[in-house]
Amino acid sequence: MLTESVLTGTSSPAVGAGALLALLRDGRARTRAELVELTGLARSTVSLRLDALLGQRWVVPADDVISSGGRPATAFTFNSSARIVLAADLGATHARLAVTDLAATTLAEREAEMPIARGPETVLTWLVDTFRELLAECDRRLTDVCGVGVGLPGPVEHDTGKPVNPPIMPGWDGFPVPDWLGARLGVPVLVDNDVNMMALGEYWAGRSGAEHLVYVKIGTGIGCGIISGRSLHRGAQGAAGDIGHIRVPSSEENVVCRCGNIGCLEAVAGGAALAARLRAAGQEAADSRDVVRLVRAGNTEAIRLVRQAGREVGVVLASIVNFFNPAMILIGGDLAGAGEHLLAGLREVIYSRSLPLATQHLSIRVSDLGDRAGVVGAAVMIIEHMLSPEAVDQALSA
């Protein structure tokens, strides 16, 4: 139960309304009497704050009324259609954009080939144009948008939203993505690493039920997002989870990584590395998706390489399991399409090199949301930011 000290402040009806909205976001309709009982506030105080939320349509009367034998009482519920969110998951070669409501339900969506190496202005101009097309598709306007969430395939300084020395993003280092997009769309913009967004999307979807999970993206590169105690763990500067540049012992340990170091996990087990080895063996494999295509076609060399890649990633994840003790490891990215061939290598090493207590109830499986995890997470990032009690109170008092 929220205490009165959380909900009270000045005499303005808007102050504390955000905490009341947080109660209603669970999807259950509640009457004024129920909200009074839950909060311990006076009925008049609850009514003032409800009126503030009703005025902005954050809350609406529910379709039904509740009768306790006397006059029927109106119930109130969160209005997930009050605003909309723009979300983008930008990968190394592909992009997925969506318009969602405040429950992260997709209203319009598009996937396209858009190499991040084309540079920030080219990619972001395309993003703005595509967002406008998607808004038209779902018959909404830019004035309905409360914010934009963007996931990028490289390190992002969380406080500023700027990419920092991203190895596969030429021209993006230090580029002011939030400012650039905000100037053109006129709404707040939040930017984070794409794997963080994927982890957040999976947790929000709730199918895993895990409060401590690691999401591992194995595509062109390799990275992981960490949910700890139901919160996204970013680290001091937002660099947590960059496992792709951990050096691993391997027969390929002298291979040079795009970051400039040698023997990095990404350079040994990433999709680009596997595709290069298949090409050297005479196979047609331009990228990680081609690697998966060959695995599904039964190509023995592709299967061997993917299983070994699973073992290499497993070496790093075994250390993470011992250190962090997650309840679940979810595998996403293009190479997740190889399914059990990849998972077999992962499980083999993780279960053999991790402590029995850490693996006693550990689940290792492919992502539930698949390619959509990132765009869902980008939407959730904005929703949680814009609907925080502090942000709602500030918006209502403006």
- Among 79, 112, 129, the domain boundary falls at 79
Range of the domain at 54: 4-79
Give me the phi and psi of 395, to 5 degrees please.
Answer: -65, -40
- Residue 85 has a CB neighbour count (10 Å cut-off) of 26
In a domain, 203, yes or no: no
- Tell me, what's the pLDDT at 69? 54
Euclidean distance between CA atoms 348 and 310, whole angstroms: 9
What are the residues facing 76 on neighbouring strands?
A: 30, 61
Taking only the tens place, the pLDDT of each residue in 181-226 is: 999 999 999 999 999 999 999 999 876 678 899 999 999 889 999 9
Judge if 351 and 236 occupy the same domain. Answer: yes
Structure tokens given for 329? 């490891």
pLDDT of residue 340: 95
Q: Residue 395: inside a domain, yes or no?
A: no
Are 156 and 279 contained in the same domain?
no
Mean pLDDT of 143-162: 94
Residue 329 has pLDDT above 70, yes or no: yes
Q: In terms of domains, do 346 and 226 share one?
A: yes
Average pLDDT over every residue of 127-152: 97
CATH of the domain at 121: 3.30.420.40
Minimal CA–CA distance to 287: which of 300, 302, 271, 267? 271
98-121 pLDDT, tens digit per residue, is: 999 999 999 999 999 999 999 999
- Structural domain ending residue among the three candidates 79, 100, 120: 79
DSSP 8-class letter at 257: P
Asked if residue 363 and residue 255 are part of one domain, the reply reads: yes
353 and 380 together in one domain: no
Looking up residue 20, the CATH number of its domain turns out to be 1.10.10.10
Domain match, 92 and 176 both: yes
Counted domains in the chain: 3
Q: Is residue 15 located within the same domain as residue 34?
A: yes
Answer left, alpha or beta for residue 224, where phi above 0 means left and psi between -120 and 50 means alpha: beta
- The answer to whether residues 324 and 381 belong to one domain is no
The reported pLDDT for the residue numbered 100 is 98
Q: Is the pLDDT of residue 8 over 60?
A: no
* Same-domain pairing of 326 and 224: yes
What would you report as the CA-atom Rg of the chain, rounded to the nearest whole angstrom? 23
Any domain includes 398: no
**Shared-domain flag, residues 89 and 167:** yes
Residue 236 in domain: yes
pLDDT digits (tens, 9 = 90+) for 223-267: 999 999 989 999 888 889 989 999 988 656 688 888 888 889 999
Domain boundary pick from 23, 58, 79: 79
Of 125-129, 201-205, 290-294, minimum mean pLDDT range: 201-205
Q: Is residue 66's pLDDT more than 90?
A: no
73 and 139 within one domain: no
Residue 398 has pLDDT above 50, yes or no: yes
In a domain, residue 391? The reply is no
Query: Is 393 a domain residue?
Result: no
| pLDDT computed for residue 77 by the predictor | 93
Q: Assess if residue 394 is contained within a domain.
A: no
204 in any annotated domain: no
Q: Are residues 53 and 25 in the same domain?
A: yes
- 270 by DSSP, 3-state: which? coil
Please provide the average confidence, as pLDDT, over all residues in the chain. 90
Q: Show Cβ contacts of residue 206 under 8 Å, excluding neighbours closer than 6 positions.
A: none
The dihedrals phi and psi of 190, each to the nearest 5 degrees, come to -115, 140
